[in-house]
Structure formats: structure tokens, C-alpha cells
């Protein structure tokens, strides 16, 4: 059974002006997402600035999301690391907290081999009982999960059940789904390639766009899964300028800027990320307004 079908939000982590995690604001964001049809909360992922959270903060944020969501929709905890033992620790603690599933990014910087990836993911998966989503984003990590590796993991490790594919390489995704023959669930990790991924057998998206357009992102997937492909395609194509604007600088700089422009007051980013270049803000504002998003 799939962890979820539809649009899961890779939710931001709000910060106070002094840099502390703003838990009450995170609660507001979770309620906003649930009210607008989001199908899962992905907490402490790349968009949630997980790499700048202490271990204590990381687990506290997961705990808050689990308690606030209260089983209304699944909470998927990002617990990946470039250290296998750290990923095991975070994964085991997230399981104790009550997360519904785990999202495990490839080890970054140390660039594991495919054999190393298999050992890394197998050790983590064997340390917990929760279902696991592999997260392939080589543009950020310098490490690519090859289709053969993902399929081997899904076939040989019981609780590795899905992959978030953010390689941007639709041919690689097609090869993955051809080799998998149904053994792994596919979530798009590229907001600009949701419909293409669904056309290859995907069941949803783990989305940055959902932070500011949850209803439209949910509808894009739901319509496709209902067979209303033309309506789904229209949303995807209409979203192209907004997706471009959301990734004109490194994520999550633009999406946090966008939420602040909407009056959500999610605060600043943690270093080494910084505020958006002023020259890019008008482009972001226009794309948001053209997509029907009201600015504060």
C-alpha cells in the first residue's frame, strides 16, 4: 500500500528573526496545507533547511509536526545524512516519535558508490520498521541513485518502497520504471515534471510549489489520477513560470520569500543561505500573481 497518493508538501521550517525555530508558525503552515488538500507533510527535508538544524531541533520539529498533524495525513520525516550512523539514529528516533514514513536523501559530499548506496540504505532500513522513500537529487548531493540500484533495493529490502526522483532526467525515470515493473512507487521531486512522472506510472509529487499553491498542486495530481489528463496538463503548463521563479535561486530561498510575500511571515533563512537577490523579487511576484496567488 502506498504511503500516500497525491501532492505532499516539502514544507519549510519557519524561523524567528533571532534564528530560532518558530513552532507556532509551523503549526499554522500545517493547518493551511491540510485545509487546502495536501496529501502528506514532508518535514525536515531540503526545503526545511534540515542541514542547518541541530539533531535536537531536527527531532523536535518532527515531533511537533507529528503532534500537530495528529494522523489527519501522513507525516514523512527527512532523516537522511551523509553519515550512515547518523541517519540510523535520526530514523530510529523519528520512528519512536510517530512519523509515518522516512525520506532518505543520498549521502552528500562524500559521493558513495552504488555498492556503498546499497549498504547505506540497507543498514538504515534494517534498523527501523517504517516505510522508506529514497531521495535522489544528484544536483544537490553529487550522488545519483542509478535505476538498477533503486530497483535492487526495492526488491531486496522490504521497507524500501518508494523513490522521490529529482534528477531532472526523465529518461532515467523512464528506465527506472521499466526495470521496476511495479516494485517501487514513484514520486516526482521536480515541480516542473509532475505530469511527465505521472505518465510513467508515478503516484504523486513531493513538492516545493505546494508551500504556496497547495490546492493547485493537489489538483494537478488528483485530476491526472482520475483520468482527467488534459485538465492536469493545463495546471502543469500554467505553473511553469512560477516553478521557474521558485528555483531561480537555490531552494528554499525563493519559496520562503514567496511565503513572506503572501504574509505568512516564515522568517529568514539560516546561513549559509541568505535573502533573495532584490533583482529576482519582481519576477517572483509577477509569477505568483499570474498564477492567482494573492500577495500581502
Residues marked active site are found at 135, 164
Beta partners for residue 136, in sequence order: 165
Whose cell is 497547495? That residue is: 214
Q: How far is CA 143 from CA 29, 108, 132, in A?
A: 31, 7, 18
For the record, the C-alpha cell of 261 comes out as 510575500
Amino acid at each position: 500500500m502506498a504511503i500516500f497518493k497525491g501532492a505532499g508538501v516539502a514544507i519549510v521550517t519557519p524561523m524567528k528573526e533571532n534564528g530560532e525555530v518558530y513552532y507556532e508558525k509551523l503549526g499554522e503552515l500545517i493547518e493551511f496545507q491540510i485545509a487546502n488538500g495536501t496529501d502528506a507533510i514532508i518535514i525536515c527535508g531540503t526545503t526545511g533547511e534540515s542541514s542547518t538544524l541541530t539533531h535536537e531541533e531536527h527531532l523536535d520539529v518532527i515531533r511537533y509536526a507529528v503532534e500537530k498533524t495528529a494522523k489527519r495525513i501522513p507525516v514523512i520525516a527527512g532523516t537522511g545524512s551523509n553519515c550512515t550512523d547518523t541517519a540510523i539514529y535520526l530514523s530510529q528516533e523519528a520512528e519512536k516519535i510517530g512519523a509515518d514514513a522516512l525520506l532518505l536523501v543520498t549521502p552528500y559530499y562524500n559521493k558513495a558508490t552504488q555498492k556503498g548506496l546499497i549498504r547505506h540504505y540497507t543498514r538504515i532500513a534494517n534498523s527501523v520498521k517504517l516505510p522508506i522513500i529514497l531521495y535522489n537529487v544528484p544536483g544537490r548531493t553529487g550522488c545519483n541513485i542509478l535505476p538498477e540500484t533503486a530497483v535492487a533495493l526495492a526488491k531486496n529490502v522490504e521497507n524500501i518502497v518508494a523513490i522521490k526522483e529529482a534528477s531532472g532526467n526523465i529518461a532515467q525515470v523512464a528506465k527506472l520504471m521499466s526495470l521496476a515493473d511495479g516494485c517501487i512507487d514513484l514520486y516526482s521531486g521536480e515541480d516542473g515534471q509532475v505530469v511527465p512522472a505521472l505518465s510513467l506510472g508515478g503516484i504523486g509529487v513531493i513538492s516545493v510549489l505546494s508551500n504556496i499553491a497547495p490546492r493547485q498542486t493537489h489538483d494537478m495530481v488528483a485530476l491526472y489520477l482520475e483520468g482527467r489528463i488534459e485538465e492536469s496538463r493545463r495546471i502543469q503548463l500554467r505553473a511553469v513560470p512560477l516553478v521557474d521563479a521558485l528555483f531561480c535561486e537555490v531552494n528554499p530561498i525563493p519559496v520562503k520569500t514567496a511565503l513572506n510575500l503572501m504574509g505568512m511571515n516564515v522568517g529568514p533563512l539560516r546561513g549559509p543561505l541568505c535573502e533573495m537577490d532584490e533583482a529576482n523579487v519582481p519576477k517572483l511576484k509577477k509569477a505568483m500573481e499570474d498564477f492567482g496567488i494573492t500577495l500581502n
